[in-house]
Structure 1
Amino acid sequence: MDRRDFLAGLSALAVASGTAGSRTAGAQTAGAAARTMVASPEAMQRLSARLMRLEEDGLDPRWYGLNPGNQEDPAAITRATAGALADIVQGRVASLPGRVDLRRDPNPATLNLWVQRIAEAAEPAEVIDLASNATPDMALLKPALAAARTRASGSWPGFPVGGRTLEPGAFDENRVAALRARLVLTDPILAANPGTGGSYDERLQAAVRRFQTAVGTEPDARIGTATQQALNRSPMATVNQLRVAIDMRRAQPALSSERRVDVNIPDYRLRMMEDGRTVIEMAVVVGRPSRATPMITTRLTSVQFNPSWGVPQRNAREDLLPRLRRDPTALQQRGFRIFGRVDGQVVEIDPTTVDWRAINPDRFPYVIRQDAGDANALGRIKFNMPNNDDIYMHDTPDRHYFRRADRAQSSGCIRLERPMDFLMVMLDGTPGWDRERVDRVLATRNTQTVPLRRQPPVRLFYSTVTVEGSELRVRQDIYGLDEAYARAMEARNRPQGIPMAAAQG
């Protein structure tokens, strides 16, 4: 292979990947690399062989023009090395619409260092290995991806959909056999001792609970609709989620050590972090797919005690109008008040005087507000964070949702499992506020807003693949955002007009 051709490709990469102000430095770095490159032609062929295995990194050699027909062609290897190295170091997908949680470090110096390193290496294939493994969590993600690819390449037994829920202890020869055949593929504990027969016994129940915990359904060993769907999920969907997880971690800037609040939407978890430690964490309820919680970066600025709720028009049309048609007085009992315009004046409307069946949902003419109180949809505490989507965190009287594994149940806002604990942490450092004063204010039932002295940044983000210690979990892609990301990865070229640096959180 001609070394000048190889370095010319890398030089073009360094220049193109930098910002306008860094192109000269990028070209100088690649030029310096050209003068010191030492790899032999045999090493270049080993590099080509490594690039043909880019699938283990969540990438595809075909994206870079490399295939079995040209893998020995010097020009093809040059182009593939340049493109693959850029994606391994910087991430293939720079940004996507609505995904302000996607963050990249735009510093071209990092890529330039890898360019120089691969040019000076006696074994450039080893540099590809080092660069790909420099991304966090690779020790778990890459083996998981390899295992998922193996499963996807073979036959995948399904589980019969529909019918009655398969209950623990039941006898069902066909469905139990199907369940066992499916779970032994992903559960090494069960695979070591799968058992036989048609009884849904304790051994199989334990495997189902492990599966339900991993995918985020209720770990009750009951095989209902949600668990049936998870059992029948295509293994390629898991492959794509792991590819997305790997790419999302590339070139991520270091998170601030200051106190911050992170909410992982598909994991249904909130964590407050400070100096690398968890201050508090809890379960949350997020928006259901039809009313998805948007990705947001903002700050918590104030807390509101005894909030009233101005019902959004969509909620009024889709949620409350059907209830008004069934029983106009039911909402009154929960503190809802209805307002309309009469003779140019806004007045309160008696719901029993309205023919709700004649109301067109597309032109709902009323404003609905729920007074503060125990039945209020926001509970007794609301946490304000400025954003354009009117999203906030709040208490809720509907505590039963926190007993569910599937907690995509709200209209978009974030419901907190332990709002009082969160409040006391948030009030830390706010003079004059302790639990006794909080209880007094709540007891008045008067609405009161208190600015927070410490206003931590908030990040609502979307990551279906979580790694904690040695445990990796793949959650449901509840909003289909992993599917959209995977489609963007498949695109040969990055979208025009989108900078390498994504929005910062």
Structure 2
Amino acid sequence: MHQGVRAILSLVGFLALVPVLPGQARPAPQVRYAQALPGQEALLRLADRLRRLDEDGLDPRAYGIPPDSQSRADPAGWQAALLRASLAALTDLLHGRVVELPNRPDIRRDTAAVPLGPWLAELQAAPEPATVIDRAALLPPEAPALKRALALARARVAAGGFPPVPSAGPDTLEPGMADPRVPLLRARLAFTDPQVPRSGDDTYDDALVAAVRRFQAAEGLEADGRIGRITFAALNRPAEIAVRQLRVALDMRRAAAAPPAERHIEVNVPHQRLTLEEGGRTLLDMAVIVGKPARATPMLRVRLNAVQFNPQWGVPERNAREDLLPRFRRDPRAMMEKGFRVYSWVDGQRVEIDPTTIDWASVNPQRFPYVVRQDAGEINALGRIKFIMPNTEDIYMHDTPDRHLFRRPDRAFSSGCIRLERPMELLDAVLQGVPGWDRARADRVLASRVTTGVALPHSIPVRLHYTTAVVERGEVRLRPDLYGLDEAYARAMDSGRTRVASAGPR
């Protein structure tokens, strides 16, 4: 590149290294040129590449890319603006556009692992600086698959989105039914499934049922071929939503902190899966039940430090008011038989009260006056095992008596805590190496029905994270934005003024 171009890069790079407090903007470098600079074609290609940052999930309008026409009228100003835009885009491609979000400790960047200095030097030396932008965009290992999925999703939006499938009609579209919506259903599925027959009558036949099952499985729904309210909603989800989710997925992976090498637990809340990992290997993978949208599971980074056997359940006030009060009103004796006990405070002392003596109809749910606890046992809501990981949200992982729920692909049913499909397998892994403990001793303790606990000599890191797009064998699988956190992230990506590059950790 010409000496003048290197002068701009040197000056801009120096300014990028100056520490800047959050919210402050860097001063734009002032450079004057005595003559027009060569290398114009390469710089025009760089400008064109920056205008295609939407391929990478970024908004080109955020970077102040100068118009090509300025290159003739004011070459020095055009090149200075172009290189500033390049540095800002390079920073976001390497370090992520969103630095942090409230209540998202699951998002952690390690910008020191991706230092900007070598990239700036490469941008300075490259005869084709656009190729440096290309390489930065593909740096996260899963970026190629996510970019392909994003391009496909954008193409669907450009083509007008998916054809709608009206949900008006019978409550559920059953296999074998004749229904005027079937041709529309066939047309919708053909957009994403090449195996769907292109023609047919209005009979919901076996070939179309098989296609619906494939669609339901991909969406994380119960793949039974029956089309009810939830499947209709998935079929009619706007194509733009996938674009936003994939943009977020790309940005979240930029400079993402590496997982710990030690044994650790990952819970992907939207995918409702738990994995136990160590040294890059997955040791255990199971389904979990997570919080319903009204009681969302919070994102956390915590450490599992104890296990409790045969736990009692101290019912949180919200659960008591909203979930248990209607059941006490219907049949207080049945609640007693399920091990629920009710307490009140009398003269400063907690006193147990017979639920059948309480006028539950008169209890104000907004001022619930009782404390409710459920005894340990097979039908206890926490099951037989509770995995304790101290946090301010009172979130833990536990067994559950409602085993049938794990057969459902959509498992957002809890009040925020994590219910485990195979708690005994996790228990074996957690107790591995704990002196005096093995499966046989754990079985004896569980059989005793006595509430007891064991502290772990070495706590285990646990991350509850929100990743709606996962890549498996090169294919991208999207899950619904259960709590709207992807939408919040996308808004953060698109908010604010033009970014200025920063070479240091943020």
TM-score of the two chains, using structure 2 as the length reference: 0.90
Q: Does 1:170 align with 2:169?
A: no
Which among 463, 485, 494 is matched to residue 490 of structure 1?
494
**1:380–1:108: structure 2 CA closer, same or farther, 3 Å change rule?**
closer
**1:434–1:6: structure 2 CA closer, same or farther, 3 Å change rule?**
closer
Report what 1:263 is aligned to: 267
Letter of the aligned partner of 1:419 in structure 2?
P
- Find the residue that maps to 1:329 and give its secondary structure: helix
Which among 106, 110, 134 is matched to residue 105 of structure 1?
110
**Higher deviation after alignment, 317-326 or 260-269:** 317-326
Q: Measure the CA separation in 1 of the matches of 2:278 and 2:113.
A: 29
Q: Measure the CA separation in 2 of the matches of 1:500 and 1:285.
A: 40
Q: Measure the CA separation in 1 of the matches of 2:259 and 2:114.
A: 19
The 5 Å alignment of 1:193-342 reads: 193-342=197-346
Letter of the aligned partner of 2:56 in structure 1?
D
Q: Measure the CA separation in 1 of the matches of 2:499 and 2:436.
A: 52
Aligned-pair distance for 1:131? 0.7
Q: Does 1:187 align with 2:193?
A: yes
Report what 1:407 is aligned to: 411
Report what 1:385 is aligned to: 389
CA contact (8 A) 2:305 2:389 kept: yes
Structure 2 unaligned regions, length at least 5: 30-36, 72-77
Report what 1:53 is aligned to: 52
Q: Measure the CA separation in 2 of the matches of 1:321 and 1:10.
A: 63
Report what 1:459 is aligned to: 463
CA contact (8 A) 1:296 1:460 kept: yes
Aligned-pair distance for 1:159? 1.1
- Find the residue that maps to 2:308 and give its secondary structure: strand
TM-superposition CA deviations, 1:469-498 (whole Å, max 9, x none): 2221000100000000000000134999xx
TM-superposition CA deviations, 1:391-415 (whole Å, max 9, x none): 0000001112111111110000000
Which among 15, 30, 53 is matched to residue 18 of structure 2?
15
- Find the residue that maps to 2:283 and give its secondary structure: strand
Report what 1:140 is aligned to: 145
Letter of the aligned partner of 2:390 in structure 1?
P
Q: Measure the CA separation in 1 of the matches of 2:452 and 2:491.
A: 47
**Higher deviation after alignment, 88-97 or 359-368:** 359-368
Q: Measure the CA separation in 1 of the matches of 2:99 and 2:482.
A: 22
Report what 1:476 is aligned to: 480
**1:18–1:351: structure 2 CA closer, same or farther, 3 Å change rule?**
closer
**1:456–1:67: structure 2 CA closer, same or farther, 3 Å change rule?**
same
Aligned-pair distance for 1:161? 1.9
CA contact (8 A) 1:52 1:61 kept: yes
Q: Measure the CA separation in 2 of the matches of 1:500 and 1:381.
A: 45
Task: State the identity %.
Answer: 55
Q: Measure the CA separation in 2 of the matches of 1:396 and 1:100.
A: 27
Letter of the aligned partner of 1:157 in structure 2?
P
- Find the residue that maps to 1:148 and give its secondary structure: helix
Report what 1:44 is aligned to: 43
Aligned-pair distance for 1:345? 2.5
- Find the residue that maps to 2:332 and give its secondary structure: coil
CA contact (8 A) 2:44 2:68 kept: no
Runs of 4+, deviation exceeding 6 Å: none
Which among 123, 128, 132 is matched to residue 123 of structure 1?
128
TM-superposition CA deviations, 1:118-169 (whole Å, max 9, x none): 1111000000001111122122111110000010112231111243211122
CA contact (8 A) 1:61 1:67 kept: no
Aligned-pair distance for 1:500? 8.1
**Higher deviation after alignment, 381-390 or 78-87:** 78-87
CA contact (8 A) 1:14 1:115 kept: no
Q: Measure the CA separation in 2 of the matches of 1:233 and 1:245.
A: 18
CA contact (8 A) 2:222 2:410 kept: yes
- Find the residue that maps to 1:425 and give its secondary structure: helix
TM-superposition CA deviations, 1:417-460 (whole Å, max 9, x none): 01111111211111222222222111111001011234221110
Q: Measure the CA separation in 1 of the matches of 2:110 and 2:413.
A: 34
CA contact (8 A) 1:307 1:382 kept: yes
Q: Measure the CA separation in 2 of the matches of 1:380 and 1:197.
A: 53
TM-superposition CA deviations, 1:100-127 (whole Å, max 9, x none): 0001013286112111111111000000
Q: Measure the CA separation in 1 of the matches of 2:13 and 2:45.
A: 18
Q: Measure the CA separation in 1 of the matches of 2:57 and 2:81.
A: 20
Letter of the aligned partner of 2:94 in structure 1?
V
RMSD of aligned Cα (Å): 2.5
Q: Measure the CA separation in 2 of the matches of 1:40 and 1:382.
A: 65
The number of residues matched between the two structures is: 482
Aligned-pair distance for 1:466? 0.5
Aligned-pair distance for 1:75? 3.7
Q: Measure the CA separation in 2 of the matches of 1:194 and 1:302.
A: 57
CA contact (8 A) 2:381 2:401 kept: yes
**Higher deviation after alignment, 411-420 or 151-160:** 151-160
- Find the residue that maps to 1:194 and give its secondary structure: coil
- Find the residue that maps to 1:300 and give its secondary structure: strand
TM-score of the two chains, using structure 1 as the length reference: 0.90
**1:215–1:13: structure 2 CA closer, same or farther, 3 Å change rule?**
farther
Report what 1:366 is aligned to: 370
Q: Measure the CA separation in 2 of the matches of 1:465 and 1:17.
A: 33
CA contact (8 A) 1:58 1:247 kept: yes
Q: Measure the CA separation in 2 of the matches of 1:199 and 1:310.
A: 53
Aligned-pair distance for 1:59? 0.6
**Higher deviation after alignment, 207-216 or 462-471:** 207-216
**1:475–1:71: structure 2 CA closer, same or farther, 3 Å change rule?**
farther
